[in-house]
Structure 1
Amino acid sequence: MNKKMVLDRIPHQFCEGPFWGNGKMGAVLYVQNGKLCISVDHVGLWELRETLPDMPKADFQEILAHKKEFIAGDPRYVEQTDIFGDNIGRTRLPSLAVELSLPGEIASFLAETDMLEAGTGLRLEMKDGKVFEGEIWLDSCVNVLGIALHGEGAGELEVKALGWDLDSPRLKPLKDWHYEPCIQTEENGLVTVRQHFGGSRSAVLSAGRRETKYSMEAQHSMEAQRSREAEGLFLAVSIETGDQAEEADMAAAGTKLVQDYLDNRDSYLEAHRLDWKTFWDGFAVEVPNERLQEAFEQELYKLYCNEREDSSPVTLQGVWNPNNRMPAWFGDLHNDLNVQSCYWPAYKTGNVKLVRPYIDYYSKAVPRFMERAYKLFGIKDAIHIPTMMAPDGTGAASEWCYWNSLLGPELFVAVDFTWFYEYSREEDTLRDKIYPFIEKVLHLYQGIAIEKEDGCLHIPFTTSPEVDRDGHMLLADDATFTLSCLHYLCRKMNGYAQKLQLDGASWLAWSDRLVPVKTNEKGLPVYAGVDVFASHRHFCHLYPIYPLCEEAHNELAQRSLDTAINQGFLEFAAFSCPYLGIMAARCGRGNMSRTMLELYCMVFRSRNSFTVNGDPYQNGILRISDTNAGESSDAFTLESGFFIPTALCEMFVHRAKDTIWVQMGMPDEWKTCSCRELAVEGGHRITSEREDYSIRRILLKAGCEETLTLRWKDDTPVKRVMRNGTEMEGCGQKSLTLEVLPGEEFVIEFE
């Protein structure tokens, strides 16, 4: 890996500048009012209060009796989503910021982020000829942003630490909620900003500076090889959040950390670079497509900026919420594929440990989920999850709005809980968190299922997310998404029960009573008798293909994909193209997969690679709209970008039931490519190489004991099979069935 993320235009918007993160803290640099502005974000910046009563306007039975009114948003049956005009509602909050005043106007801008070391080289040329150069990074191991600048007058630059501008129209809710201006203090050159929020919470930003002398080479003179000394400035910035009662302690700890960083920068940087190197050393993908190779690396850089073992689940914007506006779409945990897809590349690249906060936070929130299930459905020992969620399990925006009263989000999460076990094989986590969680999800659906005249159980008023008809989301009984998830979860729970020495027969018995998914000549329908009838964005009726991963390389999957494609692109969102790319790879359509990924990269990425929804750059593949999915063009989300590395990994290797398919998603023109240490279910790690348009080598490192079948593109005959260094039978075969044990290594070479 030798790519850098190069930005060579002045970033006048937040979505155009270089960025950094360490899972708890994030920063983005852009130019605002002629000054360098660096947002300083923290995952603890949340407004977690709501002033409306914590009771739904109507319970589920009342909603079933007034479906049309509920769908239309009738206030007798459902609360408004955006209640910020008159009430306090839950939302992610803007970041704080650091601002550097420059002597004049910027003429040119260059930022080169070395993603291997997570540091950015910066060069600013001013219109008066002055040049400032330096480096910016956010430490991977401690919450400190480092900013080093040198050039004439750098040591005298004015630096301000900023709280929220409560007079800004884009921060109006904060003023309406009677937020107070920040409190700033300075002592011995160290600045502390205290920004109160959420009633009793506080964000404490600590900043320190040191004037330095830098040795730099004169690049624009006759003495180009001689060194000279230039004025320099080094800033260290930290942020923490907590209760206001702990504010003094947070300020003291922040000041101490910043001071130590100023004194011992080199040792901190060494640990920072080693941590990032360790991350990158764990996997690799190399493809002969520059755009997709860069996107893979950029998205995995973002992943490690946001996902750590000790962080919190990834929200819509992760650690990059702007300082100058309220976070778009409430900056929530969006349990509508958004949170879930942020973790797919972590699984696929063997980084299952980074998913742990997701499992831990949602497990911790189970009491709140159970309370929701009882209030809305009247069912005990069950789980209901809001679509838009705050970290404590409450609903973002308004608790009982339309989106937070729908069925389905708990299925997205439950499927992800199965993924964690399938990739980690941690039986203690299965026993203590995964099995109890899924059990309560299934209890919800067992409680609302209705037996009809056909003798089967049916699930009422389900959604196939964001499929609209007549201006409203289509809601009906037995969505393919709902039924396929429930059947899948029952099968998994039967297997998990056996591992835990429990009786799982009841799960299969209930699945047998549940109406099956009814497919037809067009593949998987949205609902029984309702095929995909228009372009739309979500494709959750294709969940059996991905991420349930049960349908692949068969006629059902192929017909389903054809039907989705035939509807066109006009109503797509940013993630629609790469989501289809994943499914195309799993159906052996490598050319389509590549095309879908390239479309996303060309249409839906801002200059700094952040995802934009809608078509703000007028690429012409979507329906013309004045807004970016209801937001302005500077709104972005993370999840869509993470589909890119997921799809590329699926091109190289994926699993359906007991079969591992290798290089089945390769585009025809990819002559040479390779992957290293990618993961599939079972914790197995796969390395594969392709040369001259043909597979050449597979290395399988077994993660658990089981029997696997290996298949590969074009059925190339096997030349040799080695098991732990010893040759075994298999020469000439076009597929292999292997009995594997944990730690075993199989090398398969091809003719």
Structure 2
Amino acid sequence: MVWGQDNQLNVTVSRAGFWDHRGGRPFGATTNFKTVKRLLEAGQQDSLKLIFKNEKQEGLPNRPYQLGGGRLELHFPKGFVLQTGELNLQTGKLEVVIQLPDGSLRTIDIGQAVPDEVAWIKMEEALLAKVEIKLVASYDHPKVRKELAEIGVAPPTRFSDAAQSVAGFTQSLPADAPLSVAYQKNKDHLVLQTVLGEQPEPALIASFRSVDLKALDKQSTAWWTNFSKDLPKVTIPDPKLQEAYDYGLYKMGCVHPPHGVAATLQGPFMETQRIPPWSNDYHFNINIEMIYWPVLASGKYEHLDPLWAMLEEWMPTLEAADQYFYENDKALLMPHAVDNRGHVVGNFWTGMIDQACAAWMAQLAWLQYQHTLDEQLLAEVAFPLMQGTFEGYYAMTEKTADGTLSLPVSVSPEFKGARPDAWGRNASFQLAAYKMTAKNLIEASALLNQPMDERWTEVLEKLPDYAIIEGPGSQEHPEYVNQRIALWEGMDLVESHRHHSHLAGIYPFQSFDPFDEKHATIVRHSINQWIAEGAGRWSGWCVPWAAALHARLGNPDGAISWLHYWEENYTNLGRGTLHDANYKGLSLIKPGIGPDIRPDASKPMDWNNVEFMAPHNEVMQLDGGFGVLDALHNLFFQQRDSVLHILPYLPVRWRDFEFEGLHTAGGFVIAGQVKNGQVERIEIESKFGKPLVVQTPFLNGCQVDGVAQDSALLKLEMSAGEVVLVRRL
């Protein structure tokens, strides 16, 4: 991260994967689902707390965490003023302009190697000679120092060479590999390096001699050029969302490149002045999935490779623990918050029994298969994940007296936190994930010539689609009663909440058709109530999810409005995407404005520093920014079961826009153009020569490669490499 003001330029240096693993707990044989169910149903909350208890021990952290590295500060003389910074999204290079006291301008070029852990800062020799350089370790910040010292982390050791041209530090950890950060000053450039792992200081200093900047620059430029050349291209009449889209695609190359580690909540963008929120861990109850969703439509499937490789490493440990938990040697449970070893972070018991965390991963792998038709991926990753997810769900299932199936103990993500009443029968979120998994297994088993399991059909036929609650649709007019989707049986959406989980059957799980007569009325009442409850308890990442739901339900302008709300309130000056609202008065996840109880209320109020407000630190997370890309993709196309819908609903406010290079299930690449509020053309390219059923927006008929068609629903037989042009009549 590069930032600064006036005469100081800062480069924040972090290294994804710098973990202190202490405090993590393998999801081991401490209990099983039957015990959890018995304790919950008996109201024995104290016993339940003991099972999931994770007491903090003196001198040790109570959870694993990642730690930032440091910050390189470049202090220019007084009178020098930073002017602009411009990032080239195609090459990954940054150009900073600084003004000298005489009014002249100079440029500072900043680049980073790919995949080497090397960066460089170039400027004129005379300019660099005037710079005072400081390398600040994260440990140097008082708050971080205090927290780390309390858990046994020693200060970093400093090193330099005899000429003082190389300087750096090594931050050691009590039980994990150290991180070294160092720079070398040359005549007209600085070289910055990180090294994770044990390495003698002389070797670290000597490693700068082997740095070939020309070769690294060429290699980096080639990588970014290759990454950028086949990205989707979207042109919309909306500068703010256009920038969010383009910058989001660029950040995919930063956050989860195929040569990197699997992405976490903050990825490599860790600040130095504090330990990252939520340990910068893996949250599998939507956040990690949202970070990876744009990989599919952009066609960058190789970006998922590090994620699947990490899960493969975890599997032996997870399977052993899950077999005990479910008493089923085929079941798979994935706790909702873990470190990079799959060890549990914290003691959030509802997250520990959230079986949908496994379903999220299974769906992501299945969607990748649908896009790539990679049978090895299907057989070795997607199908086993789906099987394990299903077996876990089935172990939780009860057959009721009327022959239907039920989930007697289930949770809706983070609703009521870890309270003893944070559960109920048939949580709609879990029902949707369960039925989605069963549905996908039926299709996958046929593709792999695997035997059909009758339980999959049983679940689809006998498990409810969602829990239903009946009650007033408005407290103002309680006489108007309707039915709507409940969080679980008997639990209404009683207030605004960041997880739209009871609506996950609409999107992204698509376990039922919201337009079907069976569901349409209940869905309408559910959405109306959801809108009425508002965004007062929303976080940043859930706003794009809301936009995607609006896009799926035929409200494209509502989707765009929510995306603008996100951009205005959940991004910072550096375009960081935030978990908490950027301003007070919007969401209670950001402390709201309370009464002015100062002794002297006549003095001007500093709204960011008042005693009656809780202190608040900005929380950056990657999920929201990538969720915006997914929401925009849902405006351009939607896959609904076996039918591809292209431009299903046109926003009124976007009269002219176009896109190309968007990838869909079945191996198709699509483009579209809208002029003056009408769809002008659609192009469909087939990569694999598979048949396609596509719903076009041309309700009065269309022409396919010049041949008139009287239906908007097309059934196309295409050969590999063929491109079809669809226009209105």
Fold shared by both chains (TM-score > 0.5): yes
Instruction: Work out the CA distance in 2 between the residues paired with 1:432 and 1:550.
Output: 24
Aligned match of 1:318: 267
Cα gap change, 1:519 to 1:394, in 2 (>3 Å): closer
Aligned match of 1:119: 93
- Given the alignment, which residue of 410, 424, 428 partners 2:358? 410
Instruction: Work out the CA distance in 1 between the residues paired with 2:24 and 2:283.
Output: 21
- Given the alignment, which residue of 421, 426, 441 partners 2:389? 441
| Offset of residue 139 of structure 1 | 2.5
Aligned match of 1:23: none
- Given the alignment, which residue of 649, 654, 674 partners 2:658? 674
**Superposition CA RMSD, Å:** 3.3
Aligned match of 1:527: 488
| Offset of residue 277 of structure 1 | 2.7
Aligned match of 2:641: 657
Please give the per-residue CA displacement for 1:604-634, whole angstroms capped at 9, x wherever unaligned: 1111111223334236365762699998332
Structure with higher strand content:
1
Aligned match of 1:700: 684
| Offset of residue 519 of structure 1 | 6.6
Aligned match of 1:608: 574
The yes-or-no answer on 1:419 pairing with 2:367 is yes
| Offset of residue 704 of structure 1 | 4.1
Please give the per-residue CA displacement for 1:632-684, whole angstroms capped at 9, x wherever unaligned: 33221110111111111111111101211111243112111111110122221
TM-score in terms of structure 1 length:
0.84
Secondary structure, counterpart of 1:170 in structure 2 = helix
| Offset of residue 579 of structure 1 | 0.8
Aligned match of 2:288: 339
Aligned match of 2:550: 584
Cα gap change, 1:648 to 1:515, in 2 (>3 Å): same
Which moves more between the two structures, 502-511 or 99-108? Answer: 99-108
Q: Report if the CA contact (8 A) 2:351-2:414 is conserved.
A: no
Q: Partner amino acid for 2:654?
A: W
Cα gap change, 1:359 to 1:475, in 2 (>3 Å): same
The yes-or-no answer on 1:99 pairing with 2:73 is yes
Please give the per-residue CA displacement for 1:243-265, whole angstroms capped at 9, x wherever unaligned: x3xx24x9747854x4444x543
Which moves more between the two structures, 417-426 or 267-276? Answer: 267-276
The yes-or-no answer on 1:547 pairing with 2:502 is no
Q: Report if the CA contact (8 A) 1:310-1:357 is conserved.
A: yes
Secondary structure, counterpart of 2:172 in structure 1 = strand
Secondary structure, counterpart of 2:715 in structure 1 = strand
Which moves more between the two structures, 579-588 or 468-477? Answer: 468-477
Cα gap change, 1:130 to 1:289, in 2 (>3 Å): closer
Aligned match of 1:66: 39
Q: Report if the CA contact (8 A) 2:692-2:715 is conserved.
A: yes
| Offset of residue 406 of structure 1 | 4.1
Instruction: Work out the CA distance in 2 between the residues paired with 1:185 and 1:272.
Output: 29
Secondary structure, counterpart of 2:37 in structure 1 = helix
Please give the per-residue CA displacement for 1:105-131, whole angstroms capped at 9, x wherever unaligned: 775542222222222221344789796
| Offset of residue 181 of structure 1 | 2.5
Instruction: Work out the CA distance in 1 between the residues paired with 2:455 and 2:614.
Output: 41
Instruction: Work out the CA distance in 2 between the residues paired with 1:313 and 1:151.
Output: 39
Q: Report if the CA contact (8 A) 2:113-2:119 is conserved.
A: yes
The yes-or-no answer on 1:745 pairing with 2:715 is no
Which moves more between the two structures, 425-434 or 402-411? Answer: 402-411
The yes-or-no answer on 1:568 pairing with 2:534 is yes
TM-score in terms of structure 2 length:
0.86
Percent identity of the aligned residues?
18
| Offset of residue 694 of structure 1 | 0.8
The yes-or-no answer on 1:240 pairing with 2:189 is no
| Offset of residue 167 of structure 1 | 6.7
- Given the alignment, which residue of 496, 499, 509 partners 1:538? 499
| Offset of residue 510 of structure 1 | 4.4
Instruction: Work out the CA distance in 1 between the residues paired with 2:241 and 2:357.
Output: 31
Secondary structure, counterpart of 1:443 in structure 2 = helix
Q: Partner amino acid for 1:575?
A: W
Secondary structure, counterpart of 2:411 in structure 1 = strand
Q: Report if the CA contact (8 A) 1:689-1:695 is conserved.
A: yes
Q: Report if the CA contact (8 A) 2:405-2:463 is conserved.
A: yes
Q: Partner amino acid for 1:184?
A: R
Q: Report if the CA contact (8 A) 2:77-2:130 is conserved.
A: no
Cα gap change, 1:41 to 1:736, in 2 (>3 Å): same
| Offset of residue 206 of structure 1 | 3.9
Aligned match of 1:225: none
Q: Partner amino acid for 1:569?
A: A
- Given the alignment, which residue of 148, 167, 189 partners 1:191? 167
Instruction: Work out the CA distance in 1 between the residues paired with 2:556 and 2:326.
Output: 44
Instruction: Work out the CA distance in 1 between the residues paired with 2:50 and 2:514.
Output: 48
Cα gap change, 1:79 to 1:131, in 2 (>3 Å): farther
- Given the alignment, which residue of 256, 262, 270 partners 1:307? 256
Instruction: Work out the CA distance in 2 between the residues paired with 1:623 and 1:325.
Output: 19
The yes-or-no answer on 1:480 pairing with 2:428 is yes
Q: How does 1:272-311 map to 2 (within 5 A)?
A: 272-282=220-230, 283-311=232-260
Q: Report if the CA contact (8 A) 1:711-1:736 is conserved.
A: yes
Q: Report if the CA contact (8 A) 1:593-1:665 is conserved.
A: no
Instruction: Work out the CA distance in 1 between the residues paired with 2:202 and 2:357.
Output: 39
Secondary structure, counterpart of 2:533 in structure 1 = coil
Aligned match of 1:642: 626
Cα gap change, 1:392 to 1:134, in 2 (>3 Å): same
| Offset of residue 307 of structure 1 | 1.5
Aligned match of 1:12: none
| Offset of residue 317 of structure 1 | 0.5
Q: Partner amino acid for 2:276?
A: P
| Offset of residue 134 of structure 1 | 0.6
Q: How does 1:55-204 map to 2 (within 5 A)?
A: 58-67=31-40, 75-80=49-54, 86-104=60-78, 108-125=82-99, 133-150=107-124, 153-165=127-139, 168-187=142-161, 189-204=165-180
Q: Partner amino acid for 2:692?
A: L
Q: How many residue pairs align between the two structures?
A: 689
Q: Report if the CA contact (8 A) 1:190-1:255 is conserved.
A: no
Q: Report if the CA contact (8 A) 2:428-2:488 is conserved.
A: yes
Secondary structure, counterpart of 2:395 in structure 1 = helix
Secondary structure, counterpart of 1:197 in structure 2 = coil
| Offset of residue 523 of structure 1 | 5.1
Which moves more between the two structures, 185-194 or 318-327? Answer: 185-194
Aligned match of 1:349: 298
Q: Report if the CA contact (8 A) 1:614-1:625 is conserved.
A: no
| Offset of residue 180 of structure 1 | 2.4
Instruction: Work out the CA distance in 2 between the residues paired with 1:171 and 1:70.
Output: 40
| Offset of residue 166 of structure 1 | 5.7
Instruction: Work out the CA distance in 1 between the residues paired with 2:337 and 2:392.
Output: 19
- Given the alignment, which residue of 313, 323, 344 partners 1:364? 313
Q: Report if the CA contact (8 A) 1:94-1:323 is conserved.
A: yes
- Given the alignment, which residue of 382, 386, 398 partners 2:331? 382
| Offset of residue 410 of structure 1 | 1.4
Instruction: Work out the CA distance in 2 between the residues paired with 1:554 and 1:164.
Output: 53
Instruction: Work out the CA distance in 1 between the residues paired with 2:193 and 2:708.
Output: 58
Q: Report if the CA contact (8 A) 2:118-2:191 is conserved.
A: yes
Please give the per-residue CA displacement for 1:256-305, whole angstroms capped at 9, x wherever unaligned: 4x4444x543x432332332232222111111111110111121122211
Q: Report if the CA contact (8 A) 1:73-1:402 is conserved.
A: no
Cα gap change, 1:551 to 1:697, in 2 (>3 Å): farther
Which moves more between the two structures, 124-133 or 729-738? Answer: 124-133
Q: Partner amino acid for 2:678?
A: S
Q: Report if the CA contact (8 A) 1:408-1:462 is conserved.
A: no
Q: Report if the CA contact (8 A) 1:137-1:146 is conserved.
A: yes
